[in-house]
Amino acid sequence: MTKSTNKVSVPGFLANGVSAGIKSGDRKDLGLIFSTIPAKVAALFTKNTFKAAPVLIDAERIKRGIAQAVLTNSGCANAATGKEGMADALTVSAAAAKQLKIPEEHLLICSTGVIGKRLPVRKIEAGLGKLVRGLNEFGIEDAEAAMMTTDKFPKIAIRKGIVGAKDITICGIAKGAGMIEPNMATLLTYVMTDALIDAKALNTVFHQVIDSTFNAISVDGCMSTNDTAIILANGLAGNNPLERAQARLQRFREMLTDVLAELAQAVVRDGEGATKFITVVVEGAKSKSDARRVAYSVANSNLVKTAFFGEDPNWGRILSAIGASGILLEKEKVSLSIGNMTVFAQDAPVNLAPARLKEIFQGGNIEVRISLGGGDKSYSVYTSDLSYDYVKINADYTT
Amino acid sequence: MTKSTNKVSVPGFLANGVSAGIKSGDRKDLGLIFSTIPAKVAALFTKNTFKAAPVLIDAERIKRGIAQAVLTNSGCANAATGKEGMADALTVSAAAAKQLKIPEEHLLICSTGVIGKRLPVRKIEAGLGKLVRGLNEFGIEDAEAAMMTTDKFPKIAIRKGIVGAKDITICGIAKGAGMIEPNMATLLTYVMTDALIDAKALNTVFHQVIDSTFNAISVDGCMSTNDTAIILANGLAGNNPLERAQARLQRFREMLTDVLAELAQAVVRDGEGATKFITVVVEGAKSKSDARRVAYSVANSNLVKTAFFGEDPNWGRILSAIGASGILLEKEKVSLSIGNMTVFAQDAPVNLAPARLKEIFQGGNIEVRISLGGGDKSYSVYTSDLSYDYVKINADYTT
């Protein structure tokens, strides 16, 4: 679905990714996306108390609403590094802005990797020349490669369409969270578009779309130190300007949603050690927050996740997670379906066909549908299973 | 610490455990503890919406404050089994009370095992005769064995002491939760004592002590369908009666705390696949609930748990979990120590000795101490690591 496509490009954007020796071997670890002209910018950042230095810097810079480049290093998160970490980030930022010949405040920087280690500033500075010289219109895949950590495949999504009487392009790239909870790893996603859009509208739409896509695979207030989502809009499409409350803004929102939903699902499919893609749908809730609590109580249960990995049709664990969500439930009204098979309703198990249920658990895409029968609010969460490989990958990440 | 001791007994209590063929092989799966005279009783039950049939029955029966026996089966939780499950539980209860020649309302019943499967009533009825005939004063270990599921070792703790001018005995047995969150599995614990104690005082003290022991390894509102803690006090010690607000009640509380703390720690040490025993201490919090939120944000982080399993000194994951707890933190005041080594303070890493830190992570008992510097409230949680075996054990539990 988001396998890397040849010739991915967005008008007015250049990109590149190189190896600066931050990660072992000659893996790419320094990436750059660059708009040939200053672009409108909007961004969301982690709510973690211990925000990484680059997050603190970017959060200030995006307030101007203008940015032109995003520099990313993998292999080191530059988080929990104190004043030195902040100084390191600013040193790298200054050097990159100089190379790019843009105002430093128009450069955004992101880091991902191990927390608590100093940023290898010299290596990054040494890599900047090659990185900037190599900027090219088809460099997006290299930029994506440079921000991957445990990702098994690159995540790039692109949509083209007519908005405001002109062809516009929206392209997003993402670096996966380890699992679907961003506190499991860092999530970085950047969106490039040539659409001409009002700054306020861009900010509003980006927040709305992130909330319905990436935040549906995350737990609020439970993010990593570095999570960052950025959108740059350089306006080169020359379309009729997109402003709030317009039909054409709605069309832009739909295209952006397609891009980010594709990336968000790719992040789950590439979850560390994931062998299943599980959709948890909660409906009939009194409030969205109730639906959300139930969805996460199920999606985050290690017992549920291991049952899916083991293809063990132990649906009772899902029911227990529903009942443990802490919200007020009328249990006689709750029903649970897995695949298209109802396993529990009216406070009793439904006549089960174990063989059929086993087949459902053996599938790669599994939908868990929970109806609370108490209202009309719903919420969906994408999650993955919990496998040996998840433990293996995370048992020796720094070493 | 809780390895089974020979000749465990409590005056006036008989017990036994047999195989009724509920579990495969000839493993014990039906256990009974019995007081020769009606005893004062207090109990706590899961808060799960989908309480198992036996939990619903017991919650009614203990309101009388009197009970004489607790019957437990493993291999089937009789949860999410609807009206049939309730009828099954009542059938078993009636048969057992008849065998024991006690009023049915003086019998408590507990089940643990797979959720959503009918209770094998015939097998249990067939096993009751042998179970009751075999009741004996040294049968506590057999009763304990009969309630084990994935437990690797039995959990029995006993204390004797002089209270109210007489020797009293307090003995507790527990069936482990899979991991430290009771939503990971069922937790059952029964306490037998010959102390003479007022019903109100017993209820108050038992709730207080469970809160400081078993609830320090659990997440409120996040329990299994069957979690149950019961205490029976038959008064045969003939001590001066224990009533509220007495010095001798305090002594009883201390002994009970010793017994339940030992069992609670044993449950963590025996957590499915556990290779480490981790104590998370949060101090300097504005409120106990803040301290608790931080402690669980760390203790329940899969990334933290896998790092401990991998002996990977990735302390940044702990810091990230602290920052993700969602409570208001003054990050400059937060400090993090692992073992006796401070790794983070004043918003910066402390000069690290990686070799020493690695040694700490290689230990079997690890203390994580988090100081928030914002108040004088504290909270401690016991947890275990997340290993391959946890996944293995839980990937095919029902099958």
**Alpha carbon A292 to its chain's center:** 18
Q: Which of B46, B81, B186, B193 is catalytic?
A: B186
Strand duo B228-233 + B188-193: pairing: parallel
How many whole angstroms separate alpha carbon A47 and alpha carbon A37?
Answer: 30
> What's the pLDDT tens digit per position in A262-277?
998 888 888 767 888 8
Alpha carbons within 13 angstroms on the beta-carbon side of residue A329 total 32
* Segment (H or E) for A328: none
Q: What is the ipTM of this complex?
A: 0.82
Across the interface, whether the CB atoms of B223 and A312 are under 8 A apart is answered: no
What is the count of residue pairs from A and B with beta carbons less than 8 Å apart?
212
Q: Strand, coil or helix: what is B318? A: helix
Across the interface, whether the CB atoms of A321 and B183 are under 8 A apart is answered: yes
The domain A277-395 is classified under which CATH number: 3.10.20.340, 3.40.50.2000, 3.40.109.10, 3.90.1150.10? Answer: 3.10.20.340
Q: Give percent of chain B with pLDDT exceeding 70.
A: 92
Alpha carbons within 13 angstroms on the beta-carbon side of residue B50 total 35
**pLDDT for A301 beyond 50:** yes
> What's the pLDDT tens digit per position in A44-96?
998 888 999 999 999 999 999 999 999 999 999 999 999 999 999 999 999 99
| Token pair of B190 as six digits | 């029964």
| Token pair of A80 as six digits | 């929990």
| Token pair of A265 as six digits | 């699902």
Which of A77, A185, A348 minimises the CB distance to B83? A348
* Segment (H or E) for B174: strand B166-175
How many whole angstroms separate alpha carbon B129 and alpha carbon B43?
Answer: 27
How many whole angstroms separate alpha carbon B268 and alpha carbon B132?
Answer: 32
- Smallest Cα distance from A217 to chain B, Å: 16
**Alpha carbon B78 to its chain's center:** 19
The predicted structure's pLDDT at residue A397: 55
Residue B212 touches chain A, beta carbons under 8 Å: no
Nearest chain A residue to B46 by CA distance is A324
How many whole angstroms separate alpha carbon B296 and alpha carbon B78?
Answer: 30
> What's the pLDDT tens digit per position in A325-359?
889 999 999 999 999 899 999 999 997 788 899 99
Across the interface, whether the CB atoms of B392 and A388 are under 8 A apart is answered: yes
Residue B5's CB: how many other CB atoms inside 10 A? 13
How many whole angstroms separate alpha carbon A198 and alpha carbon A196?
Answer: 7
Phi, psi of B360 (to 5 degrees): -60, -45
How many whole angstroms separate alpha carbon A244 and alpha carbon B20?
Answer: 70
Q: Strand, coil or helix: what is A305? A: helix
Which of A49, A84, A388 minimises the CB distance to B323? A49
Nearest chain A residue to B312 by CA distance is A396
CATH fold, domain A13-269, is L-amino peptidase D-ALA esterase/amidase (3.60.70)
Lookup result for tokens 């933190």: B329
How many whole angstroms separate alpha carbon A158 and alpha carbon A146?
Answer: 19
Q: Which of B46, B49, B300 to mutate to test the interface with A (most CBs of A within 10 A)?
A: B49
Which of A178, A183, A313 minimises the CB distance to B321? A183
> What's the pLDDT tens digit per position in A362-375?
999 999 999 999 99
How many whole angstroms separate alpha carbon B140 and alpha carbon B35?
Answer: 12
Dump strand ranges (E) for chain A.
13-18, 30-45, 66-74, 107-112, 155-163, 166-175, 188-193, 228-233, 277-285, 335-338, 341-345, 348-349, 365-371, 377-384
Which of B80, B306, B348 minimises the CB distance to A391? B306
Q: Name the pTM for this structure.
A: 0.83
Residue numbers of A between 317 and 346 with CB closer than 8 Å to B? 317, 319-326, 329, 331, 334, 343-344, 346
Average pLDDT over residues B2-21: 84
| Domain edges within chain A | 13-269, 277-395
| CB neighbour class for A281 (10 Å; exposed up to 12, middle 13-18, buried from 19) | middle
